[in-house]
Amino acid sequence: MSFTGASILSIEQFSLDDVERIFAVADRMQPFASRERFTKALDGAILGNIFLEPSTRTRISFGSAFNLLGGHVRETSDISSSAFVKGESLQDSARILSGYSDIICLRHPTSGSVEKFAKYSRVPVINGGDGANEHPTQALLDLFTIKKELRAKNRDINNLRIALVGDLLFGRTVHSLCKLLSLYRGISVVLISPPELSMPEDIIESMRAANIQVNDCEDFYKGIGDVDIIYTTRIQEERFENKEMASKYRGKFVLNDDIYTKYCSSDTVVMHPLPRDSRPEANEIDFDLDSNPNLAIFRQADNGIAVRMALFALVLDVVDQVEKTSSKIQWYVSRK
Ligand code: NCD
């Protein structure tokens, strides 16, 4: 695809070459993401960062990535303080906000809403998560992380075995990740969820059509036993019609040091899109795993910066300007 001016709405728009191109640019963004160098490639550009659902990582990392490229960020992070509560349509919001920005990131509670918004926007739009549908930039940073973690173990993505755990019905990150993995060969996916929260059939079918080996596993301990990556997720309580029902599923798949030591092979990498639900009744990943070097969740979140910088640089067509307009940073950077 041509990235210049394109909206990033779904993983389905990418070919394998596109994904590898994003990752190659993300690698070039590393000195900027790690605050060794600063660039003015997007000097004067404005990002409209519109988050109409709770967010910490995605919102701040989109904003930071844009700032690290030298651009400015205008932000709405509270639906109740936006004109949506006055009944403004997606169409009108798109027309207005695209007059104020060079690119827009939008998170919205309704599936398909970001695509609709993009139709009326005069500038490119990036999907920061639309309901239970997709979260394409999370999937890109997840796969970028998977490849990096495997590389550190002298492996590549061929023959990857990955377990997806938790709320696979409403979890938009796993939906996008499955679509992304379908571009690769020799992958096997183990799906572990309560039966009521299982992966939508159409996604399973499209994985099978792409020759991914997909297995359901009722038994959590068995399912996490023979994989390279465990990707666990939070019960998406905000998507339940009856919020009380969510509590029925919390705490079903707890990963802690004892369980990891007993059931997983010693180099299994543990990932999570975050936030992990650390309330005692949920506790998807116990704090006692934090010192395990295979816990990749914080490296995974950090990788969001380089990947999102790469997307901005590609869509706004400044990849070649990034190094040219760069300099060593002048301020103190903690290397802890
Ligand atoms: C995820 C999301 O919003 O879909 N969070 C994120 O963006 N990293 C996952 C979640 O909220 O559980």
Instruction: Render 21-52 in DSSP notation, one character per residue.
Output: HHHHHHHHTHHHHTTSEEE-TTTT-EEEEEE-
Q: Is the CB of 59 under 6 A from ligand 1?
A: no
- Marked catalytic residue, from 28, 57, 72, 161: 57
Q: Is the CB of 136 under 6 A from ligand 1?
A: no
pLDDT digits (tens, 9 = 90+) for 274-287: 999 999 999 999 99
- What gap in Å lies between CA 138 and CA 128, rounded to an integer? 8
Strand partners, 38: 327
- Ligand 1 atom nearest the C-alpha of 57 is 8
Residue 110 a catalytic site member: no
pLDDT digits (tens, 9 = 90+) for 307-326: 999 999 999 999 999 999 99
Residue 185 a catalytic site member: no
List of domains in the chain: 11-135+303-328 (3.40.50.1370), 136-298 (3.40.50.1370)
- What gap in Å lies between CA 54 and CA 87, rounded to an integer? 20
Strand partners, 39: 326
Residue 107 a catalytic site member: yes
Q: Is the CB of 303 under 6 A from ligand 1?
A: no
Residue 86 a catalytic site member: yes
Is 240 a residue whose pLDDT tops 90? yes
Q: How far apart are the two ends of the chain, measured CA to CA in Å? A: 39
Is 335 a residue whose pLDDT tops 80? no
Is 159 a residue whose pLDDT tops 80? yes
CA distances (Å), 320 to each of 16, 39, 123, 140, 167, in order?
A: 22, 11, 21, 21, 41
Query: 15: exposed, middle or buried (C-beta count within 10 Å: 0-12, 13-18, 19+)?
Result: exposed
Q: What's the whole-number mean pLDDT along residues 235-259?
A: 94
Is 60 a residue whose pLDDT tops 80? yes
The residue contributing the CA closest to ligand 1 atom 12 is: 234
pLDDT digits (tens, 9 = 90+) for 87-139: 889 999 999 999 999 999 999 999 999 999 999 999 999 999 999 999 999 99
- Ligand 1 atom nearest the C-alpha of 273 is 8
For ligand 1, the distance from its centroid to the CA atom of residue 294, given in whole angstroms, is: 21
pLDDT digits (tens, 9 = 90+) for 61-91: 999 999 999 999 999 987 777 777 788 899 9
pLDDT at 86: 81
Residue from 58, 173, 174, 197 to probe ligand 1 pocket by mutation (most atoms less than 8 Å from CB): 173
pLDDT at 336: 75
Is 243 a residue whose pLDDT tops 90? no
Which candidate, 120, 196, 183, places its Cα nearest to that of 146?
183
Q: What's the whole-number mean pLDDT along residues 171-187?
A: 97
Strands 213-216 and 188-192 turn out to be parallel
